[in-house]
Chain A
Amino acid sequence: MNDEFLKALRRDPPPQFARRLKQQLQAQDARAKRRSWSLRTRALVFLIVGSAFAGGMLVLEKHSSERAEPAQSQAQIAAAKSDPAAYRPRSLGPGFVPEGNDAAPLGIDNAHEPAGSPANTGFPAQSGPAAAGSAAAVPSPSEQTMQGGLIRSQQAARIAVSPLTDALVRSVINRQPPRKSGATPRVETIEADAALAALCAPGNARQFDMVVASRRIAHAEFATCRRNGIDRIIESKLGYQALVLTSGRDSTPMKLSASDVYLAAAKRIPDPLEPARFIDNSNVTWDQVDFKLEYRPIALFGPARATPLHQLFATALLEPGCNAQRSIERLRIANPTLHAELCHTVRGDRLYSEVEQTASLIPQNLWADPNAFVLVDYEFYRENRDQLSASALEGPEPSTAAFADGSYPLARPIYLYVDLTHLTRVTEAYDVMRELQSLERFARGGSGFVGLEEHEAKAQRSRPWQTLSESDLIPERSVPR
């Protein structure tokens, strides 16, 4: 026995355990945030109710004193006439003592004026009809809360978005005109697993009002919702995000796997001789990537790094290709940071170049190098289909039907989930929901967004308020995450 022997007894935690624990922590995080907001909200509501109550009491007191004052004034006048010294106007308090006969109490000199007038009652300004008018101008407690703008029982909508849909949703939210309430929806990026878990958390532990996910809610997740008493969830399919790997019309056809693309485009790849070691990508031709592929220089044009399309490229193509490498797949749980770095970082040696989807992309890049591959969004591919070859990725050709059944690997559906009970509690939640349901109108070109097919869109429109049931989830084919 020595140090090496003892160190060799270490084991990585089981992946399911690591994943489960992380989800628990994220859910705990979500609950804590919600709790903190809930406490703050309660304190605020308490403050509001307290001040509203105090204000209400003050107004009520004024009203009652106004009603009591004329009668009281008549009696006071009579009393004052008989014994001026005995009269003490109520407003001056019990300690008031008139200083001699000259210092007649207010109101006595004006006793001939009609009862009820301010001068007559001796209660200047604040009482009488004029004062009643001013009291009427004081907003009611509820008006105070709504008009003052300080106090709101409702909150801005909180939307959880998956990393893929993040840019798309933010662009839609940010392009809306200023809202009447001034409450801007909060958008938070979080993995779909954690977001749906938070949406379905019991009671006030819920953090999000809406979730925009790149996959459909799973049957088990929905069952959890129901167990937690959340059974009025609206599901809307908003569309898809899709990319196409293609090349110029005159290029030689070649079918690539996700693994091939990863080994051609990644910055660092496993050393073929020692897979546990990672080396800078030295592949320069496709036959080096896989000897079954033809000799052809690698030239790949892809979306710029900060765009949703690049995110889609990384998630839907690079990552599956990366996970196909056994030595990297193991890192997914053991070291997610290194895993993400290895899987998502593209090479910087000009074999992979970033391009924009403009009109000059095809003539400048693909005509100049017909063997180059390019990643474009589905809309661009469809519009320029006559200039481009078929999809170079193994599997079916891109089409909305292939996106819908999940068979096309470079597409992800976009689903919106809303807890119906939250709609009434959240400021302009209905408007926000409608904006998200109209994603197609706001999505900009180059976002990879693809609208639903007409029959799907029609089905969506026909049941905008229909809540999800467990039977809805059974026939749907599961979509790859």
Chain B
Amino acid sequence: MVSQQMDMANARSREPADKVDWDAVYADQLPRIYNYFRFRLGGGAEVEDLTARTFEKAWSARARYRRDLAGFSTWLFRIAQNVGIDYLRSRRPHAPLDAAVDLAAEITPELEAVRDSDLSRLGRLTARLPEREQELIALKYGAALNNREIARLTGLSESNVGTSLYRIVQTLRSQW
């Protein structure tokens, strides 16, 4: 299914700008953006909010999108990255340590169960990685982008992306 979607997106990227089928683009890209944020944030209620924010921004700016400058998914993921960065930046001033202790004491069995899910476990592990590596994981496994697309978004070379991902997965595997 994912490869079929990628093929459709690639086929569309060769079309002129005025022929973009926005409904199809929405259907293709929504799961990818949604999963990008899931992986980036380790799940959570804000995933839907950030996905919606990304699409709203892209939708309102779609007249300005230029096919000659970037593929649609590259453009959309740039917006998603910025939305994610803004969000993480706003979240960064953490609560004071005392509050953190209080929060830890409030963990309920339900919350425990959620935390124990694979994704949140992965989220906890990736949170220890540098930003760049977290981004690579989210783009590769959340957004299902290929190494070439990731290279275009991150400014790394394609081979560097492949090598980095391999190392990151090794690291995560050792800590799992």
| Contact across chains for A17 and B141 when beta carbons are under 8 A apart | no
Q: A1 near B34 (CB under 8 angstroms)?
A: no
Give chain A interface residues in 16-58, CB to chain B under 8 Å. Answer: 17-18, 21-22, 24-25, 28-29, 32
B interface secondary structure, majority:
helix
* A10-B144 in contact (CB<8A): yes
CA distance A17 to B38 in the complex (A): 14
The CA of A9 and the CA of B121, in the complex, are separated in Å by 11
Give bound CA distance, A12 to B28, whole Å: 11
Interchain CA distance A337-B26 in the complex, whole Å = 10
Of the listed stretches B53-61, B66-74, B84-92, B104-112, name the one at the interface; the rest are far from the partner chain: B53-61
A3 with B169: in contact, given A9-B118, A10-B142, A13-B51 (CB under 8 Å)?
Answer: yes
Interface residues of B in 78-135 (CB under 8 A from A): 118-119, 122
Q: Collect the chain B residues with CB atoms within 8 Å of residue A204's CB.
A: none
Contact with A along B140-176 (1 / 0, CB 8 A): 1110100000000000000000000000010011001
Known contacts A6-B141, A10-B142, A13-B51; A21/B30 CB under 8 A: yes
Interface residue total, chain A, C-beta cutoff 8 A = 25
Question: Which residues from chain A contact B31 at a C-beta distance below 8 Å?
Answer: 10, 12-13, 334
Tell me which residues across on chain A come within 8 A of B172, comparing CB atoms: 1
Residues of A contacting B51 in the complex (Cβ-Cβ under 8 angstroms) = 13, 17, 21
Q: With an 8 A cutoff between CB atoms, is A335 at the interface?
A: yes
Any B CB within 8 A of the CB of A471: no
In the bound complex, what is the Cα–Cα distance between A315 and B2 (angstroms)? 27
Q: Is the CB of A18 within 8 A of B56?
A: no
CB <8 Å contact, B35 and A10: yes
| B118: nearest chain-A partner, CB-CB | A9
Among A1, A24, A334, which residue has the most Cβ atoms of chain B within 10 A? Answer: A1
Roughly how many angstroms separate A149 CA and B71 CA in the complex, as a whole number?
45
- Is B18 an interface residue, CB under 8 A from the partner? no
Residue-wise interface mask of B (18-46) relative to A, using a CB-CB cutoff of 8 A (1 in contact, 0 not): 00010110111011001100110000000
Q: Is A336 an interface residue (CB 8 A)?
A: yes
Complex Cα–Cα for A10 and B5 (A): 14
B52 at the interface (CB under 8 A from A): yes
Cα distance, A13 to B140, chains bound together (Å)? 18
Closest Cβ–Cβ distance, residue B174 to chain A (whole Å): 9
Q: When chains A and B are docked, how far (Å) is the Cα of A335 from the Cα of B21?
A: 13
Let me know if A9 and B169 touch, CB within 8 A. Answer: no
CB neighbours of A7 from chain B (8 A): 2, 141, 144
Q: Which residues of A contact B141 (CB under 8 A)?
A: 3, 6-7, 9-10
Residue of A nearest to B34 (CB): A13
Partner of B169, one of A6, A24, A25: A6
- The answer to whether B24 and A337 touch across the interface, beta carbons within 8 angstroms, is yes
Could you give, for residues 313-354 of chain A, a 1 whenever the CB lies within 8 Å of some chain B CB and a 0 otherwise?
000000000000000000000111110000000000000000
Q: Does A2 belong to the interface (CB within 8 Å)?
A: yes
- Looking at the assembled complex, report how far the CB atom of A5 sits from the nearest CB atom of chain B, in whole angstroms: 8
User: CB-CB < 8 A to A337: which residues of B?
Assistant: 8, 21, 23-24, 27
Determine whether the beta carbon of A22 is less than 8 Å from that of B35: no
Q: Are B60 and A28 in contact (CB under 8 A)?
A: yes
- Asked whether, in the complex, the Cβ of B60 is within 8 Å of the Cβ of A1, the reply is no
Residue numbers in B under 8 Å from A434 (CB-CB)? none
User: In the complex, what distance in Å separates the CA atom of A29 from the CA atom of B22?
Assistant: 12
Q: Are A9 and B52 in contact (CB under 8 A)?
A: no
Report Cα–Cα, A6/B28, bound state, in Å. Answer: 20
State which residues 380-401 of A face B: CB under 8 Å.
Answer: none
B144, chain A: closest CB distance, angstroms: 7
Q: Which of A3, A9, A13, A22 contacts B48 (CB 8 A)?
A: A13
Given that A10-B35, A11-B38, A13-B30 are contacting pairs, would A25 and B48 also be in contact in the complex, using a CB cutoff of 8 Å? no
Decide if A9 touches B122 in the complex (CB within 8 Å): yes
Contact A24 B52 (CB under 8 A): yes
For A7, the closest partner residue in chain B by CB is B141
A22–B142 CA distance with the chains assembled, in angstroms? 21
Q: With A and B bound together, what is the CA distance between A1 and B48 in angstroms?
A: 26
**B4, B21, B39, B55: which contacts A9 (Cβ < 8 A)?**
B39
Judge whether B35 and A11 touch: CB under 8 Å.
yes
Query: What residues of chain A have their CB less than 8 Å away from a CB belonging to chain B?
Result: 1-3, 6-7, 9-14, 17-18, 21-22, 24-25, 28-29, 32, 334-338
Other than A17-B51, A18-B30, give 10 A-B pairs with Cβ distance below 8 A. A2-B169, A6-B137, A9-B141, A25-B26, A28-B59, A334-B27, A335-B28, A336-B23, A337-B24, A337-B27
Lowest 3 CB-CB distances: which A-B pairs, in order?
A: A6-B141, A13-B34, A1-B173
Could you give 17 example pairs across A and B, Cβ below 8 Å? Answer: A3-B141, A6-B122, A7-B141, A7-B144, A9-B39, A10-B31, A10-B35, A11-B34, A11-B38, A21-B30, A21-B55, A28-B60, A334-B31, A335-B27, A336-B23, A337-B8, A337-B21
Interface residues of B, Cβ cutoff 8 Å to A: 1-2, 4-5, 8, 21, 23-24, 26-28, 30-31, 34-35, 38-39, 48, 51-52, 55-56, 59-60, 118-119, 122, 137, 140-142, 144, 169, 172-173, 176
